Amino acid sequence: MRPLIAGNWKMHGDMSWVDKPGAFAELLPAAEREHLDVLICPPSLFIAPMAASCHEGNILLGAQNCHDAESGAHTGEVSAEMVKSAGADYVIVGHSERRAGGETNADVAAKAIAAAKQGVTPIICVGESLDIRKADEAEAVVSAQIKASVPEGLTDYVLAYEPIWAIGTGMTATAEDIKAMHAMIRDIVGPNVRILYGGSVKPANAKEILGTDNVNGALIGGASLEMESLAAIARAA
């Protein structure tokens, strides 16, 4: 399966960052990464001004969230249609940092449907807390999250497994844990859905993580902010 290396910039950067895709394409030209997809998900404001350089550099563009409604009185929100018309083809939904703010599985599923309707591929995020992992309930919780967050009948989506305790902490799940979790996820999502791992993916651990069975790419926070480290991770794929 074609790997997907996805950077999630979260709430970092300023308008000068719209030049980063150009820098990435210089570091790792498209001809050297024909076997994989590279995606950057910047803050929504940067999507439109990044669209041309991403297109030129053969880099995909995504949003970090969208609303489930087509339009309406939702101050501060962006719709899937806006995401699409700004130039993005992917949207992250259900990131744990948003679930922590109250987003439920049902909300995530509604956002995924709204995205798919616009031809935007949702990257549906799941993952357990440290307490759940310690209680040996990680697989049960993640399985329940997937069943409730992936809309019935949706086929074009990406599933991202991000253990909450590994995000931004420098801790990563062991290769065995990732292998076991991704095998379970594969059973649920079927053979055609890309499954990403996320949580402190860095150039130093990328090769091992990306070489694990049923890991079809990575969702990268901190290490995606510098194009050198994003390129090093992409080289490992």
Q: Is 95 a catalytic residue?
A: yes
For the segment 31-90, give every residue that binds ligand 13P (CB under 6 A): none
How remote is the C-alpha of 8 from its chain's centroid?
7
- Cβ of 107: how many Cβ atoms within 10 Å? 17
Q: According to the binding rule CB under 6 A, does residue 222 interact with ligand 13P?
A: yes
Q: How far is the CB of 164 from ligand 13P (least distance, A)?
A: 9
3-state secondary structure 59-71: CEEEECCCECCCC
Q: According to the binding rule CB under 6 A, does residue 122 interact with ligand 13P?
A: no
Among 220, 227, 234, 236, which residue interacts with ligand 13P (rule: CB under 6 A)? 220
Express the helix, strand and coil content of the chain in percent, nearest 5 each. 45, 15, 35
Instruction: Report how many residues bind ligand 13P under the rule CB under 6 A.
Output: 14
Spatial CA neighbour of 6 closest among 48, 38, 50: 38
What is the SS3 assignment for 220? strand
Q: Are strands 60-63 and 37-41 parallel, antiparallel or unpaired?
A: parallel
Among 3, 128, 221, 234, which residue interacts with ligand 13P (rule: CB under 6 A)? 221
For the segment 87-106, give every residue that binds ligand 13P (CB under 6 A): 95
Cα(first)–Cα(last) distance of the chain, in Å? Answer: 11
Name which of 53 and 200 has its Cβ closer to ligand 13P: 200
Among 79, 200, 216, 229, which residue interacts with ligand 13P (rule: CB under 6 A)? 200
Q: How far is the CB of 4 from ligand 13P (least distance, A)?
A: 13
Q: According to the binding rule CB under 6 A, does residue 199 interact with ligand 13P?
A: yes
Q: According to the binding rule CB under 6 A, does residue 237 interact with ligand 13P?
A: no
Rounded Cα distance, 143 and 44, in Å: 30
Query: Which of 97, 103, 128, 162 is an active site residue?
Result: 162
Among 68, 103, 128, 162, which residue interacts with ligand 13P (rule: CB under 6 A)? 162
Q: Are 128 and 138 in contact (CB under 8 A)?
A: yes
Name which of 219 and 231 has its Cβ closer to ligand 13P: 219
Name which of 95 and 182 has its Cβ closer to ligand 13P: 95
Is the alpha carbon torsion for 97, 163, 192, 35 positive or negative?
A: positive
Six-digit token string for 96: 């744990």
Is residue 180 left, alpha or beta, with left meaning phi > 0 and alpha meaning psi from -120 to 50? alpha
Query: Which of 67, 95, 97, 182 is an active site residue?
Result: 95
Q: Are 199 and 163 in contact (CB under 8 A)?
A: yes
Q: Is 139 a catalytic residue?
A: no
Which residues are designated catalytic? 95, 162
Binding residues (CB under 6 A) for ligand 13P: these are 8, 95, 162, 167-168, 198-201, 219-223
